[in-house]
Structures are given as C-alpha cells and as structure tokens.
C-alpha cells in the first residue's frame, strides 16, 4: 500500500518523465543543493496552531497538484514525476521538540536546511514535500516554527514566494489557497517543453562553441579562499537587512544609474571578495556570476508565479576585477553582460548546456577548483520578491519568515535570496560550511553593506575600506 494512500482505495497515478532541468535537480538534491525551505516563526503554541497548519497544508496540496507528486525511480537515475489523480490523505505533519543546539529561529532554519530526506530515506518514491512543526521552549515565549521542505525540481524561488503568501493568508484566515481551477502546468510538461521552438533553437556549432566557452571560463575563474575542504558540508545562512531609508536610497541609486538591484548586489560582492584577499594593487581576478531568471512569461502558454514548478533558468557571466572599480561602473558592466545575454535569449537557448555542465561537475568534482563544486562566486535573482504582508502576518501570528535553498552540494559560494518586506530589503545569504566560515562571510557582507551604503550616497565613488 502507498504510505500516503491511507486505508481507502488506492489513488490512480499518472507519470511523466522529468525534464532536463528537473533531472539536474534530482541529481543535485541528494548531494546537498536544491532543497527549498519555507520557514515561518509563529507566535502561537503548537497546541493551538497545529490543526490550522494541517488544514493549511491540505489546502495547498489541493490547490497545487505538484505538491502531491512523488519522485519515482529517483535513486535509479531515471526519475519520473508521478501525480495522483485524486486527493490524498492529509500530509503527515511531523511534530518535534526543538533540539538543544538550536535555541533560536536562525539556528533552527540552518538545522532544517540540512535535514535531507531525499538523501537519507531508502524510499524509491519519495514525496516532493515534507512538513515539520517545532514547539519552542517557554523562555522563547512558547511559540512554534513551521518548515516546508520542497524538492527544488517541483518548486523554484518564485513559486516558494507565492506559496509563502498563501501560507500566511491561510493561517490568518484570509481566503483560500487558490482562486479558480487548480494549476497543473507542471503536471503535464516540464520547462523545456513549454519554451517556443523559435526561442530555444541553436545551431549545433554554436552550442559546441558555447560549451567550450563555459568550460574554459569555469577553469579560469577565481573563488573565495576555501577554509576547509574534503569534509562533509552543510548550508549556513546570514541575514543582511536594510532599513526603509537605506532601502529607499539604494533603490533610488540603482534607478539613477540604470541598473537593477541584482547587478548592484553582484558588483558589491565582487568588489568585497576581491578586496578581502589582500592582493597587490591592480592585480586582476576573474569571477563568475549566475543570474537566475524567472521564465514563466516566456513560455507558451505564459504562466504566473502561482503555477508551482521549476521555471527558472540561469545566465552565467564572468568579470575581471582589478579592485579599483567604482560600484556603479561595475554594476553597469554586470547589468550589460546579463542583459545582452538575455536579449540574445541565452536564458532559453543555453538551459540544456548549463544543466549538462552541472551534472558533469556533480559526477566529477575534480573538474572544479579543489573539488569544491563551486560553479560561481555568487548567484543572484533578476528580480527581488516583494512582500506586503504586515496586516496578514499580524492576523496569522507570523513573526518572521524565510524562503531559501541549500547550496552546499554543487553551486555558488554565495547564494543570495533577496526580498523587499514592507519597504525594507532583506537578504538571506546562503553559503557552504566549513568550505567557507561564518566569520569569513560576515567580513564579506560587512564590506558589501559598506560598499552599497557609500554607493547610495554618490554616483560612482570608489569604495574606501573603513574597517
């Protein structure tokens, strides 16, 4: 009997082969990259919130068939996504006490990030969604923390943000999970099948040249210093926050200089990384940036963020830095590079190329520097997620929330998950540990914030390290 089928009749299942990007995530998740986490800190105790949470999870699964899916054959290397044709019994909600080593929300998030059922379970048909509810001890006001752990093949960053809004609304008793018919785009087809052929076609010779170019650029790029290699890794998180005035000044400066926030953030991180190394004046280093693009509007039919599934693609660019660049000079270079790539539709034509290279790196870690599986210095999202949830959060008793993913398998040294919450910028900065240390990352992001703060005051002044 299917473990989620209960005592009634067996549900009927329909299956489809995973797409290329989905297959890449099926390969990456057991190694530690690609576990999407939705975390909510709740003011109410478990005894008063558990029933509402269970009802909310059931409503989400009814509205989003992808969240009911199973990964069949994921351990054998040829996975399929299987979807039940009828509703399943309620999702099993694990109720757990908080471990002594995780006394607060931040440390509990890191603990949950590194619980990987897709690597630990022997089940050859694992579900794509797991839910856990922790009860905080009385000194912490006796609240609760809810975690939804979703396989990234079934949920990208835009979808997780949409789910977070639905979660908060449902917990606050404000509406249903979804309006209209349930979405089912990912049930029928993967990302690659929905890209118009005119936008995805690329000549064979051009594909070969691009593959060579990506490979060579990967070999010549620099990384942050590695603290400890060759050991088991985990994902850790730093939060980087800006108040309303800082946010307004930074966004105004981005607009004034004709760049997006992602370009400014990438540029500041490149400068901070270069200046953290104590290199000689004008000594150059080359770094890679991965810009993640939400492709829903480019598909046929076009989708909105409410369609849960994986519909992002990546644009990879390299930049040579000598350390004397101004923030906005470098940000414009970052903007122009990924903008030109996007104008040439490389976010659609190069999906299979980049996915192939990612899978080769997973199979052959020695192809990366120090076998560290680092594919870029930083990954950023083209657009931040905007949340205006103050009233709903108050009704739902949600004190804080985070949407992020693991990065300690294959991936960047720094994964940036940015959001604007009621006018304030918040960055969840993910990194692999002990490959990089918390102290190392705290130093980097201290410099990043200094660079952005100074850049927000003027047009393109050179950053002066005032540490």
pLDDT tens track for 228-238: 998 899 999 99
pTM, two decimal places: 0.92
Q: What is the DSSP string of 1-61?
A: --TTSTTSPPPPEEEEE--HHHHHHHHHGGGTEEEEEEEEEESS-HHHHHHHHHHHHHHHH
Residues 243 and 226: their CA atoms lie apart, in Å, by: 32
Structure tokens at 401: 């929330």
- What are the pLDDT digits (tens) for 59-98? 999 899 999 999 987 655 678 999 987 777 888 899 998 8
Assign residue 377 a region (left: φ > 0; alpha: ψ between -120 and 50; beta: otherwise). alpha
- Angstrom distance (rounded) from CA 428 to CA 412: 14
Cα–Cα distance, 464 to 74 (Å, whole number)? 50
- Given a contact cutoff of 8 angstroms between Cβ atoms, the answer to whether 145 and 39 are in contact is yes
- Decide: 24 and 313 in contact? Cβ < 8 Å: no
pLDDT tens across the length of the chain (467 residues): 343 434 445 678 889 999 999 999 999 999 999 999 999 999 988 988 999 999 999 999 989 999 999 998 765 567 899 998 777 788 889 999 888 888 889 999 999 999 999 988 777 789 999 999 999 876 555 689 999 999 999 999 999 999 999 999 999 886 555 544 556 799 999 999 999 999 887 776 676 777 777 777 777 899 999 999 988 999 999 999 999 999 999 999 999 999 999 999 999 999 999 989 888 877 899 999 999 999 999 999 999 999 999 999 999 999 999 888 999 999 999 999 999 999 999 999 999 999 999 999 999 999 999 999 999 999 999 999 999 988 899 999 999 999 999 999 999 999 999 999 999 999 999 999 999 999 999 999 999 999 999 999 875 555 454 44
Can you name the CATH fold of 201-457? Chloramphenicol Acetyltransferase (3.30.559)
Considering only CA atoms, which of 318, 379, 422 is closest in space to residue 152?
379
- Contact call for residues 28 and 409 (beta carbons, < 8 A): yes
| Three-state SS at 251 | helix
Same fold, 19-177 and 201-457: yes
Q: How far apart are the first and last CA of the chain?
A: 62
Alpha carbon separation from 72 to 18, 26, 77 (Å, rounded): 10, 11, 10
CA–CA separation, 436 and 433 (whole Å): 5
3-state secondary structure of 97: strand
Task: Specify the 3-state DSSP secondary structure of 150.
Answer: strand
In angstroms, rounded to a whole number, what is the distance separating the alpha carbons of residues 252 and 169?
31
Pick from 182, 217, 352: which is nearest to 287 by CA? 217
CA distance 240 to 260: 18
Q: Which helix (H) or strand (E) holds 292?
A: strand 285-294
pLDDT at 110: 96
pLDDT at 4: 40
Domains of the chain by residue range: 19-177, 201-457
CATH topology of domain 19-177: Chloramphenicol Acetyltransferase (3.30.559)
């Amino acid at each position: 009997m299917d473990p989620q089928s209960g005592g009634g009749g067996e549900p009927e299942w329909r299956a489809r082969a995973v797409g290329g990007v989905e297959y890449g995530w099926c390969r990456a998740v057991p190694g530690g990259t690609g576990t999407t986490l939705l975390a909510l800190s709740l003011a109410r105790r478990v005894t008063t919130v558990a029933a509402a949470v269970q009802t909310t999870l059931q409503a989400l699964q009814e509205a989003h068939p992808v969240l009911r899916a199973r990964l069949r054959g994921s351990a054998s290397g040829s996975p399929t996504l299987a979807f039940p044709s009828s509703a399943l019994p309620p999702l099993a909600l694990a109720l757990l006490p908080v471990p002594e080593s995780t006394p607060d929300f931040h440390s509990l998030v890191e603990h949950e990030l590194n619980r990987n059922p897709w690597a630990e379970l022997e089940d050859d048909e694992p579900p794509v969604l797991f839910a856990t509810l922790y009860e905080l001890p009385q000194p912490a006001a006796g609240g609760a923390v809810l975690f939804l752990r979703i396989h990234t093949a079934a949920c990208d960053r835009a979808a997780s943000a949409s789910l977070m809004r639905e979660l908060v609304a449902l917990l606050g008793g404000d509406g249903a999970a979804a309006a209209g018919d349930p979405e089912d785009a990912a049930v029928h087809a993967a990302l690659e099948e929905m890209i118009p052929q005119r936008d995805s076609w690329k000549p064979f010779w051009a594909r070969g040249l691009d593959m060579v170019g990506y490979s060579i650029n990967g070999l010549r790029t620099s990384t942050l210093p590695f603290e400890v290699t060759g050991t088991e890794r985990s994902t850790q998180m730093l939060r980087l926050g800006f108040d309303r005035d800082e946010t307004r000044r930074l966004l105004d400066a981005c607009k004034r200089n004709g760049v997006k926030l992602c370009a400014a953030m990438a540029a500041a991180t490149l400068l901070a990384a270069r200046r953290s190394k104590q290199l000689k004046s004008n000594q150059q280093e080359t770094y890679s940036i991965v810009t993640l693009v939400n492709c829903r509007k480019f598909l046929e039919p076009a989708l909105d963020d409410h369609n849960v599934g994986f519909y992002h693609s990546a644009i990879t660019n390299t930049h040579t830095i000598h350390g004397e660049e101004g923030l906005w000079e470098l940000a414009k270079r970052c903007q122009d590079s990924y903008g030109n790539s996007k104008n040439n539709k490389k976010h659609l034509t190069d999906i299979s190329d980049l996915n192939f290279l990612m899978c080769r790196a997973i199979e052959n870690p020695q192809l990366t520097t120090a076998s560290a599986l680092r594919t870029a210095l930083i990954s950023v999202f083209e657009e931040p997620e905007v949340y205006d949830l103050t009233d709903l959060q108050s009704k739902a008793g949600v004190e804080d929330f985070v949407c992020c993913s693991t990065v300690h398998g294959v991936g960047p040294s720094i994964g940036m998950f940015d959001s604007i919450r009621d006018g304030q910028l918040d960055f969840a900065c993910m990194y692999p540990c002990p490959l990089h240390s918390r102290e190392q990352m705290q130093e980097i992001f201290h410099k990043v914030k200094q660079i952005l703060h100074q850049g927000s005051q003027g047009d393109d002044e050179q950053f002066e390290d005032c540490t």
